[in-house]
Structure 1
Amino acid sequence: MIRRVCQSCRKTPLAMVIATLAITAGGVLCAQQTPRGDVEMSEPLRREIALSFDDAPRPDGTLLSGAARTARLIEALDRAKVEGAGFFVLTGNIPKTGDGAERLKAYQKAGHVLANHTHTHPSLNKTDIDFFLSDVDKAAEVLSGFDDKSNLFRFPYLREGDTGAKHGAAQEGLADRGLRNAYVTVDNYDWYLQALVDEAVAAGHVPDRSVLAETYVELLVDAVEFYDALAQRTLGRSPRHVLLLHENDLAALFVDDLVVRLRELGWTIIPITEAYEDEIADSAPDTLFNNQGRVAALAHAAGVEARSLVHAAEDEDYLRKLFQDRGLLPSD
């Protein structure tokens, strides 16, 4: 299906695109005023997004044990009728959790997908390529004990190399191993939201669950809309998106609320494997600016300044103040 966005949106600055998107239950529609005063509407824009969770299986958290987290996350995804979510496995966590292998198999049994996220989570920007690829191989060896794992691979920290030589060697190394780059299109700081909750609990402060849920959903939806507006401006369409999340307590508690809100805004939740059927999966942005995701990389390669490709809430000071203002974290 050909996805279209009105021509005026392609020429409008990003902030105005975000502000003027008319969001309906059927999708995003962009209206353009004609000289006669009539409103000419484009066809409804189908917006699709897959959910992915990094660093599985994570150890016990401050709100949930690892086992309880897995059970609640599976239940939440099932309740929200989400199929084929991606779980990117940090295989070094398996022996640390005790029940990690069983938890991963539970995700598979529930219809979700396991994928390679390295063994020890090294940053390619801070290590040499030989060590990095050996870590990928170690993770693949561990994952070989699981049935029906995918050939997807996600770079830790989304860092694909800070030099052209390292970036190229990593891409070649993945291809030699039959692995596909499982990029994201929607970056966010959900990991820092969890860190703030952990800090609050450690200080004896119990965050209000309803306020926490509202804040979590609001911030993630804002990130989704930001990167989709960027995609429409850069590509002239809404690609099949991939949302970066982590297998943490907040995801287990509130991912179903997030899905409900996304669907209210016209989003369709798709399996992770379908997301990588989008044509941007075969693109190779001519840039080393990859740690904000594929859409931002394509925009940067097209000449957009890096500072305008980062959502405002991807900032620790901003989020800390927001949590304090909403009573989710004690004031300094």
Structure 2
Amino acid sequence: MKLFRHYLSVFSCTCASALLLFAGDGHAQTVAFTFDDGPQLEQTPKLSPQQRNQAMLDALARHGVCAALFVTAANGANQPAGYALAKAWSDAGHAIGNHSMTHPDLHSEKVSLAQYQQEILDCDKIITTLPGYQKWYRYTYLREGNTPEKRDGMRSFLKQHDYRNAYVSLDTSDWRLNEKLTAVLKKNPQADVSPIKRAYLAHVRQRAEAYRALSWQLQGRDIAQVMLMHHNLINALWLDDVIQQFRDMGWSFITPTAALNDPVYQLMPERAAAGQSLLLSMAKTLGLGKFAGWERLVDDGDFEIEALKQQGL
């Protein structure tokens, strides 16, 4: 079964964690942080767009973590105020990747392959002017095409334009808990949201441990994990706690470039509708089926949301 094609990427980050290279077997589990859909100019409770952006950058800086921001340009970067927020990431030494112009769904019948590809080119017209820009594309919704024609058409497009697929191995549903957080605060700005914080940290830990176990099942080792989160309020408030939790778990941080140089990210699972976490896609390609704990990796935070409902939130 054909499982891979080769990609290479080079990027020098000024963050302190750039000194950490890819750790192979015998080293601590490593993780690279990546954030999608930014920068967001929408108004939220508690913090302004500028405050949210700075809070995330401050948390990363405090811990010396070098991350990547995958820009959905119509969320703000196509406006001066939003472009300035994206530039702040670049100025801090973080990588900038492409996450389309308006975040369309490649699996939608209303979105043609040509339209989807144009979204990428349009976003590039904005973000290529940022110093941290990399020719990395992160699929929207992590969906790589629901037909062989879309899947193969996109793979050819990325290769033709020298993009690499910025895979995710450790997928989180932070966006779902962020929706709950903002809804609660809009209803009552003084609400006690500590249960949501606890649920979020537990969610991230559960996903991290489950995907680490899956990497051992599929690869027989700790891979360099690439984690997906989003540019949103929940991370503006609690990213510092997320990073500290990983430290307490014994994990260490590497740059997205170093993580993507792990050989696992050269793989290209061949199935009719590739996507999701790379590890989940590999599991399906290899016929692993519904392994133990599978349902907690695809429930989009249903477990945590139901638990919060039981607590009255």
The TM tier, using the shorter chain, reads: 0.7 to 0.9
Structure 2, unpaired ranges of 5+: 1-24
Query: Alignment partner of 2:107: what SS?
Result: helix
Query: How far does the alpha carbon of each residue in 1:30-60 deviate from its partner, in whole angstroms, 9 at most, with x for none?
Result: xxxxxxxxxxxxx855311100000011123
Partner letter of residue 66 of structure 1? P
Query: Alignment partner of 1:194: what SS?
Result: helix
Cα offset, 1:123, TM superposition: 0.9
What is the rounded CA distance, in whole Å, between the counterparts of 2:77 and 2:203 in structure 1?
A: 33
Partner letter of residue 79 of structure 1? R
What is the rounded CA distance, in whole Å, between the counterparts of 2:38 and 2:284 in structure 1?
A: 30
Residue pair 1:54, 1:87 contacting (<8 A) in 2 also: yes
Relative to structure 1, the CA distance from residue 199 to residue 72 in structure 2 (aligned partners, 3 Å threshold; closer, same or farther) is: same
Relative to structure 1, the CA distance from residue 196 to residue 288 in structure 2 (aligned partners, 3 Å threshold; closer, same or farther) is: farther
Relative to structure 1, the CA distance from residue 290 to residue 267 in structure 2 (aligned partners, 3 Å threshold; closer, same or farther) is: farther
1:56 aligns with 2:19: no
Partner of residue 256, structure 1:
240
Query: Alignment partner of 2:153: what SS?
Result: helix
Cα offset, 1:144, TM superposition: 2.3
Partner of residue 181, structure 2:
197
Partner of residue 79, structure 1:
62
1:323 aligns with 2:308: yes
| Bigger Rg, structure 1 or 2 | 1
Relative to structure 1, the CA distance from residue 315 to residue 117 in structure 2 (aligned partners, 3 Å threshold; closer, same or farther) is: closer
What is the rounded CA distance, in whole Å, between the counterparts of 1:313 and 1:64 in structure 2?
A: 30
Query: How far does the alpha carbon of each residue in 1:140-190 deviate from its partner, in whole angstroms, 9 at most, with x for none?
Result: 111122223011110000000011121011011011111110010011211
1:139 to 108, 111, 123: 123
What is the rounded CA distance, in whole Å, between the counterparts of 2:255 and 2:77 in structure 1?
A: 28
1:94 aligns with 2:79: no
Partner letter of residue 52 of structure 2? R
Partner letter of residue 50 of structure 2? A
Partner of residue 18, structure 1:
none
Partner letter of residue 303 of structure 2? Y
Residue pair 2:148, 2:272 contacting (<8 A) in 1 also: yes
**Superposition pairs of residues 96-135 of structure 1, within 5 angstroms:** 98-126=80-108, 127-135=111-119
Residue pair 1:154, 1:183 contacting (<8 A) in 2 also: yes
Deviates more, 1:89-98 or 1:174-183: 89-98
Partner of residue 311, structure 1:
296
What is the rounded CA distance, in whole Å, between the counterparts of 1:291 and 1:147 in structure 2?
A: 29
1:214 aligns with 2:198: yes
Partner of residue 281, structure 1:
265
Cα offset, 1:288, TM superposition: 3.8
Query: Alignment partner of 2:171: what SS?
Result: coil
The Cα RMSD (Å) is 2.0
What is the rounded CA distance, in whole Å, between the counterparts of 2:56 and 2:120 in structure 1?
A: 26
Query: Alignment partner of 1:92: what SS?
Result: helix
TM-score normalised per structure 2: 0.85
Relative to structure 1, the CA distance from residue 282 to residue 216 in structure 2 (aligned partners, 3 Å threshold; closer, same or farther) is: same
What is the rounded CA distance, in whole Å, between the counterparts of 2:161 and 2:58 in structure 1?
A: 34
Relative to structure 1, the CA distance from residue 102 to residue 165 in structure 2 (aligned partners, 3 Å threshold; closer, same or farther) is: same
Runs (4+) of structure 1 exceeding 6 A deviation are none
Residue pair 2:201, 2:242 contacting (<8 A) in 1 also: yes
Relative to structure 1, the CA distance from residue 292 to residue 120 in structure 2 (aligned partners, 3 Å threshold; closer, same or farther) is: same
1:67 to 44, 50, 55: 50
Instruction: Tell me the percent identity.
Output: 27
Cα offset, 1:81, TM superposition: 1.7
What is the rounded CA distance, in whole Å, between the counterparts of 2:127 and 2:77 in structure 1?
A: 13
Query: Alignment partner of 2:296: what SS?
Result: coil
Relative to structure 1, the CA distance from residue 139 to residue 169 in structure 2 (aligned partners, 3 Å threshold; closer, same or farther) is: same
TM-score normalised per structure 1: 0.80
